[in-house]
Each structure stands twice: as C-alpha cells, then as structure tokens.
C-alpha cells in the first residue's frame, strides 16, 4: 500500500490521467493479483490525497512490479513531479482473505 500527497500544482486532470495510466499498467503486469488506485475519499479528516493498494504473491512479485518498465514509465511521466510526500507499507495477507 502506498499513499501520496500532491504538490500544489497538481490538477484533477493530472490525477485522472495518472489513475488511467496506473490501471493500464496494472493490467499489463501479471504478478499483480489485485490493484486499486484512486483519490482519497476523505471519509475521515486528514490523510493523504491518493492511495494505491496492490496485492502480490510475494516479495519477488513486488520487486517485479516496482521495477517493471510500465511502472517506471508511470513514475517518470506522472508521479515523479506530482509527489510532495510518499508513504508505503507492505502487509502480509492470508489466503483466507480472498475467500
């Protein structure tokens, strides 16, 4: 899981383009089992502007995803200049979570 705060110059159109690019990227990386990327709903005060939740089988899958040319291209075109702050966490998920 990753969360982001944007720089002040990021527009809604920028975020929409990023979201489309991330969805296309996720569809092209077979190691990704599940992927959600979107603007924070802000159902509670505070928090980040945007979040990504990716489910992968293992650390090797995470490495493949993060080092994949499609991921690097999305970072280069969008995330690199949009980010003011980034936070990430990796959590274990049991097989029962998908039942």
Q: Domain map of the chain by residue range? A: 2-87
Mean pLDDT, the chain, as a whole number?
94
- Nearest Cα neighbor of 34 from 16, 53, 18, 15 is 53
Q: Label residue 94 by pLDDT band (50, 70, 90).
A: confident
Distances (CA, A) of 15 to 38, 78, 81, 98: 8, 9, 12, 29
Q: What is the mean pLDDT of residues 16-42?
A: 97
pLDDT at residue 42 in the model: 93
**42, two tokens:** 């802000």
Note the CATH number of domain 2-87. 3.30.70.100
Q: Which residues contact 78 (CB under 8 A, 6 or more apart)?
A: 14, 17, 18, 21
List the end-to-end C-alpha distance of the chain, in Å, as a whole number: 21
pTM above 0.85, yes or no: yes
């Amino acid at each position: 899981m990753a969360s982001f705060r944007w720089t002040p110059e990021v527009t809604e159109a920028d975020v929409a383009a990023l979201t489309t690019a991330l969805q296309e990227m996720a569809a092209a990386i077979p190691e990704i089992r599940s992927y959600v990327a979107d603007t924070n709903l802000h159902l509670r005060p505070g928090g980040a502007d945007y979040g990504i939740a990716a489910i992968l089988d293992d650390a090797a899958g995470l490495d493949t995803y993060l080092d994949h040319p499609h991921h690097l291209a999305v970072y280069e075109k969008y995330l690199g200049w949009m980010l003011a702050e980034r936070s990430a966490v990796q959590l274990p998920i049991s097989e029962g979570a998908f039942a």
